[in-house]
Structures are given as C-alpha cells and as structure tokens.
Amino acid sequence: MRKLITNILAVILLVSLLSCNNNEDFKNGDIILHTSTSTQSKMIQDVTKSKYSHVGIIYIKDGQTYVMEAVQPVKLTPIDEFINRGVDGKYTVVRYKGKFTKDEVKRMYDYAYSQLGKNYDLKFQWSENTMYCSELVFKIYYNAGIQLCDIHYFKDYNLSSEDVQNAIKVRYNTEINPNESVVTPVDLYNSLSTYVIFDNY
C-alpha cells in the first residue's frame, strides 16, 4: 500500500513539473492570453466564440518578465500578477514563427513604449487615442511591418445578445459603426504566424 501511495505521489509530482512554467522559456514578443475576470469578459467570449478574453505581450527587462497590456491604463504588469488575475490561473502563450531583425525589434519597442499610459478603449475603436488589449498587441507587431492576423469588422460578429446590446447602449449612446475595424484575442491565437509554446488550460 505504501509503495502504491509513493508511486501515485511521484506521478502527481511529475505531472506538476511538466505542466508548470517558470517563465524562463518566454521571450520578448511572446503573446500571452487568458480568460479575464473583468465584467466584460463573458461578453467578449460570447461574441468571439472563444475562452480567451484578454491578451498582452511579454517584455523582459533586467531579468524580470512583464506583460504589456491595455487595461486602464496601458501598462507593464509583472507576469505572475497577470496570470493570477485570470480565471484559475489558466493561460496560453504563443510565439511568432519568424525571426526579428534589429530594426523590427526597435520599431516594436518604440511603438510599445509610446502607448504606455494611454486610456483603455471601452468602445473598441481603431484609433491611436485609446487602446484595447488585442489592438495593442496587433499594432506593436504591425508597426514593425508584421501583420499577425486579418483585421475584421464589427459586422463580422453576432452582437445580438442582451449583454452586448446593453453595453452598446451604455458605451456608444448611438448605433455602432458596423465597418469599425477590430482584432480580438482569439484572432491572435489563431494566427498562422504564431505557434503555442505553453498552455495549461
């Protein structure tokens, strides 16, 4: 019986070690997604038909790993804080398949830092005045000449649910523009230019 218990504990320990990630394998530019606990998370999940409702981009500075994310405001968040803020600590990290040139890295870095402190965009509009999470990640890459995924439009999504319609009334005070450009977290996950390097869902 003792041997059986020992074997079970050994298996549990092995599974734990294989499923954890100490962040040392992450690189600048990796994209991290999770299920947010924010009040709008369910609405985003319903509209995009995805478990992912928030996304950020990994940035490593002085040996510390951060996530640049568009919340209120756009900021750098320690990665453990970002992970713990998601539902059940579940998250996925995807990596760009290509190799960055020095010029691309500089352009990504310069654009990303120019966004710090910007207000979160509750209207999900394609502008430089405010920024929402997936728009920020997309534009950091796009500014370096890398288009990670297709740009969609509001009209491509089913916005008929009660939660979405209530949010539209509160946030827009008018009808939305069906041709407003939009990129969602799951668009970045589904990109043919990225691949999964970590997933504990």
Separation between Cα atoms, residue 161 and residue 101, nearest integer Å: 44
What's the CA gap between 45 and 186, in Å, rounded?
9
Domain 22-199, CATH 3.90.1720.10 — does that match?
Answer: yes
**pLDDT tens per residue, range 98-117:** 999 999 999 999 999 999 99
pLDDT of residue 24: 63
Backbone angles phi, psi at 94, to 5 degrees: -120, 155
Compute the C-alpha angle 112/115/119, nearest 5°: 145
Q: pTM (2 decimals)? A: 0.86
Q: Which two tokens stand for residue 150?
A: 């297709």
Domain ranges of the chain: 22-199
Q: Cα separation of 181 and 184, whole Å?
A: 10
d(C-alpha 169, C-alpha 25), whole Å: 44
Looking at residue 43, its pLDDT comes to 92
* Residue segments in the chain with a per-residue pLDDT below the cut of 70: 1-24
Q: What is the pLDDT of residue 20?
A: 45
Residue with token string 């209120």: 72
Q: How many CB atoms neighbour CB 14 within 10 A? A: 10
Is residue 43 a contact partner of residue 91, using CB atoms and an 8 Å limit?
A: no
